[in-house]
Amino acid sequence: MSRTKRAPVRVVSSRTGLSRRLAEIWDYRELLVGLVRKELKVKYKESVLGFLWSMLNPLLYLVIFTIVFQVLLRNNLPRFGIYLLSGLLAWNLFANSLAAATTSITANGSIVKKVHFPREVLPLASVGAGLVHFFLQALVLLAALAVFRHPVDPAYLLMALPALAVLVVLLSALAIALSVVNVYFRDSQHLLELVLLTWFWLTPIVYPYRLVADHLGGSGRGWLLFLNPMVSIVLVFQRGIYNVIESGSGDSITPILPAGVGAGWYLWHLALVGAVSVVLLLGALRLFSRLEGNLAEEL
């Protein structure tokens, strides 16, 4: 009797260990890179400008918001466009990648049902594509800094690297969780649009941090701002890139960034967000493990 060799079968179970799931994702890292390339190619397929569209987005924000807030509304923030972009850079990575990751499994249903691979790489590919756009948009910000000759603080600017790492971990956790939840509850992707809109205005990107913090601090509720993890991340980018604590003089001082604090203050809040993000990532992987078994049927 001839014996037929069978390919190894991956058993999907809620008891699959986290270490095993992480190892599988690492084993399929080449697939992850390939999916990132695919997302980028599909987005700009047959486009004349291609990746330049990613750079036009922050450039348009820079021009429009500068005209509206600094010319028409006459706010007191010097070089408001740079202040805006320093926070918007992190927010665009977070919001755009999370929106794309939430629909990543439902959009690739045919692949999920036919091909064997760890499904977590689908939302992670959206995060990877978002990182590419992040670095492209950073070029616009660097150009703006050069044109306006805006000084940065190198010591604080280096903190943008751990801030970016924390942001990627937080983003990956939410992306993995929402991508699998959206398979069972398709309203999740529509609800996310409203949540992100609200979340944006709860984060000091268009308005100065101290505009709210000084008010809440006087009533002993300043800590409420840091329930929003994006506040700590955005503040690091703003401190390193924008680097203006307050503007004006005398009675016309406009408070902008936290005053009287050093790098330790920023790193402490960043570390708290990082710790929470790691816990969320482990929880997201476990949730994905529990819900993955019926993905094919739901799709």
- Round to whole Å and give the CA distance between 155 and 265: 14
- CA 242 to CA 152: how far, in whole Å? 7
Query: In degrees, to the nearest 5, what angle opens at C-alpha 222 toward C-alphas 161 and 169?
Result: 30
Q: What pLDDT is recorded for position 28? A: 86
Q: Per-residue pLDDT for 151 more than 60? A: yes
Does the pLDDT at position 8 exceed 50?
A: no
Q: Does 51 have pLDDT greater than 90? A: no
The reported pTM is 0.87
- C-beta of residue 162 within 8 angstroms of C-beta of residue 267: yes
Output 168 or 108, whichever has higher pLDDT.
Answer: 168
pLDDT attached to residue 1 = 41
Q: Can you give the pLDDT at residue 47?
A: 61
Chain position carrying tokens 């799709």? 299
Selected residue with higher pLDDT from 34 and 49: 34
Give pLDDT, residue 18.
Answer: 80
CA distance 204 to 208: 6
Q: Does pLDDT of 161 surpass 70?
A: yes
**What b-and-e string marks burial along 222-235, b requiring 16 or more CB atoms within 10 Å of the CB?**
eeebeeebbbbbbb
pLDDT the model gives residue 140? 86
What average pLDDT does the structure give for the chain?
Answer: 85
Instruction: Determine the pLDDT at residue 251.
Output: 62
pLDDT of residue 121: 93
Model confidence at 269: pLDDT above 90: yes
pLDDT above 50 for 115: yes
What is the dihedral sign for C-alpha 262, 268, 274, 276? negative
Distances (CA, A) of 222 to 52, 69, 160, 211: 40, 26, 23, 11
pLDDT tens digits along 85-97: 999 999 999 999 9
Task: State how far the Cα of 50 lies from the Cα of 127, in Å rounded to an integer.
Answer: 19
Q: Supply the pLDDT for residue 7.
A: 42
**Sole residue written with tokens 């690091």:** 236
d(CA 127, CA 133): 10
The helix, strand and coil proportions of the chain, stated in percent and rounded to the nearest 5, come to 75, 0, 25
